[in-house]
Amino acid sequence: MEYKNEKKEAPGRGKVEVLGATYEEGKPCGEETGRWRQKLRNRREQLQYLAEGERYWYGKDWFGSEKRRNPA
C-alpha cells in the first residue's frame, strides 16, 4: 500500500508534509449485508441480541471497561 503525503500549512512553521489517509476505502457489499436475523439460529437468540443492544444504550448497569463508579 502506498502512503499519500500531503502538504499543509502549520501555524508558525509554514508548509509541512503530513501523512494522508492510511486506509482503503470501501463499502459493505453482497447479499448478506445487513441480514443479522438470518445469522442467528432461532427466535430466542434474536430477542436476546435485541435486549443486549438496548441494555447497552439505555441500561443503568454497565459492564467491562464502560463501568463507572460515579454516573456522568
pLDDT tens-digit readout, 4-19: 899 999 998 899 999 9
Distance CA 61, CA 67 (A): 8
Q: What's residue 44's pLDDT?
A: 93
Q: Which residues of the chain have pLDDT under 50?
A: none
Return the pLDDT at 66: 59
* pTM assigned to the model: 0.41
Q: Specify whether the CB–CB gap between 1 and 24 falls below 8 A.
A: yes
| Domain segments of the chain as ranges | 35-64
| pLDDT at position 30 | 80
pLDDT of residue 27: 82
- 7, 15 Cβ separation under 8 angstroms: yes
Q: What is the pLDDT of residue 9?
A: 92
